[in-house]
Amino acid sequence: MEDKPNILHMRLTPKQARLISGLTQQDLAVKTGVHRHTIMKWERDPDTMMVGQAKMFAKAVGRGVDEIDFF
């Protein structure tokens, strides 16, 4: 029997989390106090975020840091 992934435990990408929250990249940039290009970089390569930035991102999109695949 093949194991199927449990979708209840799948984490979102940063971009998915932002889109679900209804924020544009610019909206999120304003909420987090960073430039829109920084948001673009984080969405392309989330492991470049420091822990504090990941927490700030998660809070801004209304998610727990454990719900988003940063690393």
Task: Quote the radius of gyration of the chain (alpha carbons, Å).
Answer: 13
Would you say residue 70 lies in a domain? no
* Residue 41 pLDDT greater than 80, yes or no: yes
To the nearest whole number, what is the mean pLDDT of the chain? 91
pLDDT of residue 18: 97
Q: pTM higher than 0.95, yes or no?
A: no
Work out the average pLDDT over 38-55: 96
Residue ranges making up the domain that contains 51: 24-65
Would you say residue 10 lies in a domain? no
What's the structural domain count of the chain?
A: 1
CA distances from 6 to 3, 9, 10, 45, 64 (A): 9, 6, 7, 25, 18
Residues 6 or more apart whose Cβ sits within 8 Å of residue 62? 21
